[in-house]
Amino acid sequence: METDIFSNITFNIEGLASKDNVSQEEDKQIHLAYRKMIRSIKREITKEASDQIHRAYTLARLAHGEQRRKTGEPYILHPIEVARICTAELGLGPTSIIAGLLHDVVEDTMVTLEDLRLEFSDTIAMIVDGLTKFSSLANVSGQNIASPQAENFKKILLTISKDVRVVLIKMADRLHNMRTLGAMPEHKQLKIASETSYIYAPLAHRLGFYKIKTELEDLCMKVIEPDQFLYIKDKLQATKQDRDTYVESFIRPIRKTLKKQGYSFEIFGRAKSISSIANKLRSKKVPFEEIYDLFAIRVILDIEQAAEKSACWNVYSVITDNYTPVPERLKDWVSTPKSNGYESLHTTVMGPRGRFVEVQIRSKRMDEIAELGYAAHWKYKGIGQQETIFENWLSKAREMLENPNSDAIDFLNDFKASLFSEEVYVFTPKGEMRFFPQGATALDFAFDIHSEVGYHCKAVKVDQRIVPLSYQLRNGDQLSVITSNAQKPNEDWLKNVITGKARSKIRQSLKDEKLKLGSLGKEILERKLKALKLNLEDNVDTVVKYYGFENRLDLYYSIYKDQVNLQELKTLKIEAGQLTVEKIDAQPSREQEQKVSKPKQISRRRRFKGKPKLMIDGEDASLYSHTLATCCNPVLGDNIFAYVTSKHGIKIHRTTCPNAEFLQATFGYRIKKAEWIDTANTSFIAELLITGMDDLGVVSHLTDVITNQLSINMRSFSMNGQEGHFEGKISVVVTGKDQLNQLILELKKLEEVNTVARIE
């Protein structure tokens, strides 16, 4: 039987189609967007492929009907733009264009996967399936879902092992959503931006899409730290002319020599991205004016592949004839490409006016790979090392994904760990080169060799010397692993590894171990209950509840480890063969006891002159029990959000809190919008980190400014001095951001003080 999907769709949206709200104007807009997408296809495609693309467009347009985006535009413009990004910016082919056009139809319209399978292909249906969110949480194996966001992301990642295009199209989808984020309400912007910076930007980096990664990071920063973003943007603008002049004077002699030598090339200065400058300001704790590498010089050679390596080194030689290089800043990713495929020769030289300048030397092919990453890999497939480089990472990712039953949040974090960018390379005893993220350990190496080698890793030798399992790998190390069958993973091992593979393998092994030992604990409990004439199955959940465990396994395991006082069970009431959580002598239950014994929190609140007033989701927050998070100590005037915890009411965090990204990316549904209500008579705790010269009297100068000049109360003050340099931490009570900023400003005026920053 022939299926005609189009007639089905027409039938389904019949009612809507007749009163179609799409105006002629919009109809034209949609048509233009589609034409633009088609024109951006750079490679030859078959007639069949082009017909399929058109059919996908027609179907998506019909299916989305008169749905609209938050911007008010017709919805169909979104899938068209996603398809355009797939081809124009990621260099993907017809299959991805079709899947891009259809990526939201199953989630948002009546079209089913089966329809797509019949109308297009199994592949298209599989890709769209990967891009479709779980429609309801109940679909996820009926279990408790701690984080739907993590589950959905896990679903996308699991398809990597089937078809990497799913992730690439998701990237295009996210990029378009980020570009058009302005139309969303603010707290949703924050959630999407955090999720993007937590996982999508590192993923783009891992797949080698540097350009997209940079754009995503800047778009995220605009939402998460708008003030800092605008500050840097303005500063960059203001210093542009000076920079351009400088770059030109740097380039002139190089250009002349290279021309003389007959090279065809481009040379130019490239400003670094706002987010990468922000990272520098943060990590170096210096003012904008003291950051010199705001730009890099790039030389791109138009040269055939066989000659590119020696040409790059020749350019290096020309540059270092003119400017003195800093030897330890030479990075040769031409001989040894990064594991995400990046190839380039980097050096830092001393330029005119005593300024350090970074120079990047590469061929046109290398440049394309650096911008397009994985996609360019297809273009150059068969030549160079590109294929094996990506295959290596993919096979590592696959190994980690092998264990799909792992907890989604652990999984997400393990995966994120595999995305770290800076790398070290080491050698196996046979001289085979392996890449690791910066900070990886000897134990990570053992797990990378084979999971069995990891499990039984007893010791590791680096260059014939035994090192601790936590030894951090260094470029060029040659390692060998000594194993012992008696060895097995323990909890501490998790602290000694950073790679996703090692983490997930250790976790799995610990879980297996816990299951094994738990079954012994279960037997102990069974005997105890039997003595009370109770059966296990009917009563175990009551016992779990009574002792406050999350699940049965945790209870069994703790019983095995002798951490549970089972004698208490004798003091509980039994009704008709059922244990209850009530005590026989009607003493207050554990739960009630806990309620009255919270002196800590009460005393902490008293330190405030008044409870800070807030609006949460547009309502007066006095309805909720809320506290300010102590990880980031928000003060009146900070950008904040509310997070609904499972046990401790609502916590208020700063949007720049180090935990914010993770919370927003994983528990987005628990995030609520929060705003301050400006009220006098409220006070806040803030913590500052101060660095400077350790002179006599610096302490009294600091305290003078704080307590005498500004009449601010100090809660604590600690200081470490070392070789004439000090680092001090102070905790103060302020009325809000304005007063805090004033304090920072005044402290910076002190001669001995170098930097003052809030502790994040």
| Residue span binding Mn ion (CB under 5 A) among the ranges 98-106, 110-118, 188-196, 284-292 | 98-106
What residues are paired with 730 via a beta bridge?
688, 717
Burial 665-690 (b: 16+ CB within 10 A, else e): bbbbebbbbbbbeeeeebbbbbbbeb
Q: How far is the CB of 577 from Mn ion (least distance, A)?
A: 55
Q: Which is nearer to Mn ion, 95 or 386 (CB)?
A: 95
Radius of gyration of the chain (CA): 30
Q: Measured between alpha carbons, how far is 389 from 337 in angstroms, rounded to an integer? A: 8
> Quick one: the chain helix, strand, coil %, rounded to 5?
55, 15, 30
Q: Measured between alpha carbons, how far is 472 from 462 in angstroms, rounded to an integer? A: 11
- Number of Cβ within 10 Å of residue 716's Cβ equals 10
Q: Which is nearer to Mn ion, 66 or 407 (CB)?
A: 66
Q: Which is nearer to Mn ion, 105 or 674 (CB)?
A: 105
Q: Which is nearer to Mn ion, 104 or 414 (CB)?
A: 104
404 near 458, Cβ under 8 Å? Answer: no
Q: How far is the CB of 176 from Mn ion (least distance, A)?
A: 7
C-alpha closest to that of 207 among 363, 87, 90, 99: 90
Q: How far is the CB of 177 from Mn ion (least distance, A)?
A: 7
Binding of residue 81 to Mn ion (CB under 5 A): no
Q: How many helices (H) and strands (E) does the chain have?
A: 32, 23
Q: Which of 26, 66, 73, 108 is an active site residue?
A: 108
Q: How far is the CB of 66 from Mn ion (least distance, A)?
A: 17
Q: Which is nearer to Mn ion, 173 or 343 (CB)?
A: 173
Q: Measured between alpha carbons, how far is 665 from 643 in angstroms, rounded to an integer? A: 12
**Site of tokens 């068209």:** 80
Q: How far is the CB of 538 from Mn ion (least distance, A)?
A: 48
Total interface residues for Mn ion by CB under 5 A = 2
DSSP assignment of 459-494, as one string? EEEETTEEE-TTPBP-TT-BEEEEE-TT----GGGG
Q: Using alpha carbons only, what angle is made at residue 586 by residues 585 and 592, rounded to the nearest 5 degrees?
A: 140
Q: Measured between alpha carbons, how far is 621 from 627 in angstroms, rounded to an integer? A: 11
Q: How far is the CB of 174 from Mn ion (least distance, A)?
A: 8
Q: How far is the CB of 173 from Mn ion (least distance, A)?
A: 4
Q: How far is the CB of 712 from Mn ion (least distance, A)?
A: 49
| Residue span binding Mn ion (CB under 5 A) among the ranges 66-74, 96-104, 342-350, 748-756 | 96-104
Question: Which residue blocks in 614-708 are alpha helix, DSSP H?
Answer: 660-666, 698-703
Q: What are phi and psi of 332, to 5 degrees?
A: -105, 90
| Residue span binding Mn ion (CB under 5 A) among the ranges 92-100, 106-114, 168-176, 431-439 | 168-176
Q: How far is the CB of 78 from Mn ion (least distance, A)?
A: 6
Q: How far is the CB of 267 from Mn ion (least distance, A)?
A: 40
- Number of Cβ within 10 Å of residue 517's Cβ equals 16
E strand or H helix at 111, and its extent? none
Amino acid at 62: L
Q: From residue 30, how far is each of 16, 17, 24, 34, 59 by CA, in Å?
A: 18, 16, 10, 6, 14
Q: Measured between alpha carbons, how far is 373 from 207 in angstroms, rounded to an integer? A: 6
HSE-CB at 250 with a 13 A cutoff on CA atoms is 31
Q: How far is the CB of 164 from Mn ion (least distance, A)?
A: 19
3-state SS string over 640-655?
EEEEECCCCCEEEEEC
Q: How far is the CB of 215 from Mn ion (least distance, A)?
A: 17
Binding of residue 173 to Mn ion (CB under 5 A): yes
Q: Which is nearer to Mn ion, 175 or 506 (CB)?
A: 175
Q: From residue 716, how far is each of 377, 688, 713, 729 by CA, in Å?
A: 56, 11, 9, 8
Which tokens hold the place of 593? Answer: 């006891």
Q: Which is nearer to Mn ion, 104 or 444 (CB)?
A: 104
Q: Which is nearer to Mn ion, 173 or 675 (CB)?
A: 173
Which tokens hold the place of 379? Answer: 């273009």
Q: Which is nearer to Mn ion, 103 or 280 (CB)?
A: 103
| Residue span binding Mn ion (CB under 5 A) among the ranges 166-174, 244-252, 462-470, 737-745 | 166-174
| Residue span binding Mn ion (CB under 5 A) among the ranges 101-109, 114-122, 360-368, 633-641 | 101-109
| Residue span binding Mn ion (CB under 5 A) among the ranges 49-57, 103-111, 500-508, 720-728 | 103-111
Q: How far is the CB of 739 from Mn ion (least distance, A)?
A: 44
Closest residue to Mn ion, judged by C-beta, is 173
C-alpha closest to that of 1 among 113, 112, 120, 118: 118
| Pairing relationship of beta strands 713-722 and 725-734 according to DSSP bridges | antiparallel
| Residue span binding Mn ion (CB under 5 A) among the ranges 87-95, 171-179, 226-234, 238-246 | 171-179
Q: Which is nearer to Mn ion, 178 or 247 (CB)?
A: 178
C-alpha closest to that of 175 among 225, 138, 217, 236: 217
Q: Which is nearer to Mn ion, 173 or 444 (CB)?
A: 173
C-alpha closest to that of 260 among 303, 302, 318: 318
**Site of tokens 């002159």:** 609
169 near 86, Cβ under 8 Å? Answer: yes
Q: Using alpha carbons only, what angle is made at residue 129 by residues 127 and 130, rounded to the nearest 5 degrees?
A: 65
Q: Which of 4, 20, 51, 107 is an active site residue?
A: 107
| Residue span binding Mn ion (CB under 5 A) among the ranges 169-177, 284-292, 361-369, 518-526 | 169-177
Binding of residue 195 to Mn ion (CB under 5 A): no
Q: Measured between alpha carbons, how far is 493 from 508 in angstroms, rounded to an integer? A: 12
| Residue span binding Mn ion (CB under 5 A) among the ranges 100-108, 380-388, 626-634, 654-662 | 100-108
Interface pick for Mn ion out of 63, 74, 94, 104 (rule CB under 5 A): 104
Q: Which is nearer to Mn ion, 77 or 220 (CB)?
A: 77
Please confirm, yes or no, whether 108 is among the known catalytic residues.
Answer: yes
Q: Which is nearer to Mn ion, 71 or 392 (CB)?
A: 71
Active site residues: 107-108
Q: Using CB under 5 A as the criterion, which residues of the chain lie in contact with Mn ion when the complex forms? A: 104, 173
